[in-house]
Amino acid sequence: MDAKTGLVLKAQVSEVGAAPRTIIEVKDVSFTPPPASVFAIPANCAAEAAAPPPPTEAEPIAALTGGNPREFVKAIYGPGSKNSCTMVFRVVKAGSMESISSGFQVAVDLDVATEPTPSYIIGMSPDGNATFSGGGLHEVTSRMLNGVLRIDDVPAQFYLETAFGNAGSSSTLIYRQCFAPQTVLLDVVKNPAKLSDGGEFLWVKSGKYAAAAH
């Protein structure tokens, strides 16, 4: 090592019975400070460096719910919790979080774990009535009471679809997350008249929306 700078000038490693092997050897070195231009950010990188960072995962959840993002968890995250619970499912309007109790149909496939890659078909009549087929997908809208669907001992993973007629639909594979004997699952919809505007399926961990009915 250079006694003044601490720079490693030469380093060797050796094994028993073998000649030392050089892994670092400095043949020439200059301690003259480099020009400032060496550290200048290239023009094509400057714009990227100045751009705001992408949103964290919590920020979109806070925007959708208008609340504390730590009270929710995305339902698309697995694996499903090992403990069992009753799922209490509701559809709500993003921002206000007001319940949407009509104007949509709900279908579930509770046998996803035992099915060989099911293929779903969603039909739509001219008047906006959806039909569901493929795998174990079946409609459960008639089981809803005041916009609330309860499924006891919901499986660790299941497929859920909400269809808003000609306005579109939202669907995904859901992983069970049991934070209480009855755990609320929300389909948070930005625009019920245009589902393509976005939304999110969220399990409620805590807070006022964790109640079975709100």
**Mean pLDDT, to the nearest integer, of 41-59?**
85
Please give the pLDDT value at position 45: 86
DSSP 114-144: GSSS---EEEE-TTS-EEEESTT-EE-GGG-
Please give the pLDDT value at position 99: 94
**Mean pLDDT, to the nearest integer, of 88-114?**
95
**Mean pLDDT, to the nearest integer, of 53-70?**
92
pLDDT band for position 214 (cuts 50, 70, 90): very low
pTM of the model: 0.76
For residue 212, is pLDDT > 80?
no
Alpha-carbon span 64 to 73, nearest angstrom:
12
pLDDT, one tens digit per residue, over 155-173 is 999 999 999 999 999 999 9
Please give the pLDDT value at position 84: 94
For residue 178, is pLDDT > 80?
yes
Please give the pLDDT value at position 89: 97
DSSP the chain: --TTT----EEEE--TTS--EEEEE-S----SPPPGGGGPPPHHHHHHHHSPPPPPSHHHHHHHHSS-GGGEEETT-SSPPSS--EEEEEEEETTT--EE-SS-EEEEETTGGGSSS---EEEE-TTS-EEEESTT-EE-GGG-BTTBEEETT--SEEEEEEE-GGG-EEEEEEE---SSSEEEEEEEES-TT-GGG-EEEEEE-SSGGGSS--
Average pLDDT, the chain: 92
